[in-house]
Structures are given as structure tokens and as C-alpha cells.
Chains A and B, each alone.
Chain A
């Protein structure tokens, strides 16, 4: 099962807060449900490369800034 650690989760959450976005708004911008954003932020879901790229684009960060190989559970 795809999982991330809280390290990546905290980076995504921090980047979202820096961008002044709610979870709902971020979900709309990247085309997923709010529960998916919650799951990524809680470390319960590792997104696909396409979703990670969309997250990076919307949050103004590179994918490497949001996720790293060490985050793999």
C-alpha cells in the first residue's frame, strides 16, 4: 500500500499554508477530493507522479521539495 511518512506530509501541509490555501481549494486546483489532500497531508497516501507534479505547480515548489525518497514507508 502506498504510504508516506509525516515528514513529507508536514512539507505539503506547510507549503499549502504558505500558499494560503485551504485543503478544499487545493483539492479543487489539482482536481482531487479534499479527502485525498487530507490523506497526503496525514501521510496516508503517496500521490502519483502526475498528482505530485500538479501539487508542486500549484504550491510553487518542486516535487523534490515536497517529497523525497526517504519519505517512502
Chain B
């Protein structure tokens, strides 16, 4: 086994992964499932709260919206990074989120974005920049997925 690096030490500390609870397989399974439920509940609740804050509070609520969405993004990034480093390919059909869940997340993101943009005094140039930026992100994401699929090594016998 390779030497733990900073990310391994960080996740072990944050997740309390050295706790004796994880030494017993059923306890570990049950706790992992319970933690997954808790994480999903927290993410969706925070997302909904951020949407409500953006629409109800307007510009004044932006710091709170950021305070809710940044930890969501960080948590998601850590989850994906941890999974990838332990050999779990989230691009595979068995792991990928269900269509309903993806649609719900897209709706939430759209509601959040429109809620934040609604009360800002953006000029035409800024809005155009936003649209171009979003389009670029989309193009880069699609290109990265295509490139990653091409580079994926052939399955061994």
C-alpha cells in the first residue's frame, strides 16, 4: 500500500476513518449507508435553502447563498476525489446518478442561478459574457468527457 499523502490524511481525520467502528464490516456498511443518507439530505436541504434565500433575500442574501453553496461544492469535490482515488469510476453506468436525480439537480442549479441573476444589475455585455462563459464551460466539459473516453485503457483479459 502506498504512503498516505496529505489528501489521505485529511480525509482520514475529517471522516474519523480510524474509528474502531470501521473495523467491523457490518457496522462499517451500515454507517456508510447512514452517512450517505445524511450527506444527500444535507446537500439537498442546503441547495433548497440557497434557492429560497436567493429568491427571497435578493442581493442581500448573496453572502448566505455563497455560505451554503461553497461547502456543498467542496463536499461534492471531496467525495468524487476520494472515490476516484480508491478506484471508483463515477463515469460508469453502475455508479452514475439516476436521470431523475440529475434532472432535479439541474432544476435546483437553474433556480439558484436565475434567483441570483434576477436581482443583479447586469449590463448586456456582462450577461453576454456570462452566456459565453457558460457555453465555454459546457464545451470544455463535453470535450474532456470525450477525451477521457478515448484515453480509457482497453479492458484486460
A33 touching B25 by the CB < 8 A rule? no
A1 touching B26 by the CB < 8 A rule? no
Query: How far apart are the CA atoms of A51 and B24 in the complex, in Å?
Result: 10
Check: B27 CB closer than 8 A to any chain A CB: yes
B27 touching A2 by the CB < 8 A rule? no
Interface residues in B, total, Cβ within 8 A: 6
Question: Closest residue of chain B to A27, judged by CB?
Answer: B24
B26 touching A35 by the CB < 8 A rule? yes
Query: How far apart are the CA atoms of A33 and B21 in the complex, in Å?
Result: 10
Query: How far apart are the CA atoms of A2 and B28 in the complex, in Å?
Result: 13
B33 touching A45 by the CB < 8 A rule? no
B27: which A residues are within 8 A, CB to CB?
33, 36
Query: How far apart are the CA atoms of A35 and B25 in the complex, in Å?
Result: 12
Check: A29 CB closer than 8 A to any chain B CB: no
Query: How far apart are the CA atoms of A48 and B25 in the complex, in Å?
Result: 8
13 A-B residue pairs with CB within 8 Å: A2-B29, A31-B24, A32-B25, A32-B26, A33-B24, A33-B26, A36-B24, A36-B26, A45-B26, A45-B29, A47-B25, A47-B26, A48-B25
